[in-house]
Amino acid sequence: MKYLLLFFLFITQIARAKDPKYIVVAKDSTGDFHTIQEAVNAVRDFSYFPCKIFIRKGIYREKLVIPTWKTGIILEGESRDSTIITNADFSGGLIPGEKKDMFGKDKFSTFTSYTVLIAGDDITAINLTFENTAGNVGQAVALHVEGDRCIIRNCRLLGNQDTLYANKGRQYFQNCYIEGTTDFIFGAATAIFEGCTIYSKKNSFVTAASTTKNQEYGLVFMHCKLTTDTAVTKVYLGRPWRPYAATLFMYCTLGAHILPEGWYYWEKEKNEETARYAEYKNTGPGAAIDKRVAWSHQLTDKDAKSITITKVFKGWDPSKQNY
């Protein structure tokens, strides 16, 4: 019976490898491809059906791009902490064939420093680590997301400044660990972070939203934990990268490292008139509201009741994408 079961599993794996909707990536010879980029390239363009790319444990040193014409892809790691996509590009670093600096040298920018770029719609990532190991050298993005209806579930995002660039579209982060130093969650997307751990590595700013004037919601944190170690004591919840930045923390646990003021205006007093910063029923030593800046506000019970995932996402319900 034991050998029969092993044979059945072996046959199933072979069948899956030949299934265009199921691809295996492995560093050794046990998968269909050795790199994740090869697997993404093999997925049918604008596919009508989801395609799962299962990634075995390993360190994948790639600059991975999921372009706009690759849709409905599920990237699933074998183990969150042991399936790692890593790179070390940073703003100011060299990049062949791109914009040159004043001395005629090629350079990366914040927008091209990513380890992983998700530009396609309906992309899901599960049980993965996205990492930028450039260090404290300025902007260095681990994950850049600009596709619509993208889900990042049970993943780690590791970096320093600008770890996560939530650029545009609707994005849902669930049960993730996100760490960084300055503005390490930034961008203009409508993004919900639910049940995530947000770890500040130094005294600085957690978020830098660039929400547009016409967006009702920007970065929304629900039931998240904001943590650090004992050396970090002065962290702001956010500052406005653009004037109409919108950020909300509700039902979150805020550590003692969160400053009483909560929010910073980024040396532009006009931002105080337009930035949309709010909180609701947060707990923890950093949640006291008596010294919050006057231009932020606390939601009423009525306002908070109307904030649901489907409302923020204008009808999209990520819970129905259970891959």
Active site residues: 162, 183
Please name the residue that has the structure tokens 């390993």.
Answer: 58
- Give dist(CA 32, CA 54) in Å, integer: 10
Write the CB contacts of 63 (distance below 8 Å, at least 6 apart in sequence).
87, 89, 114, 115, 116
Write the CB contacts of 190 (distance below 8 Å, at least 6 apart in sequence).
169, 170, 171, 211, 215, 217, 218, 220, 312, 313
CA–centroid distance for 155 within its chain: 9
**117: which strand partners?**
65, 144
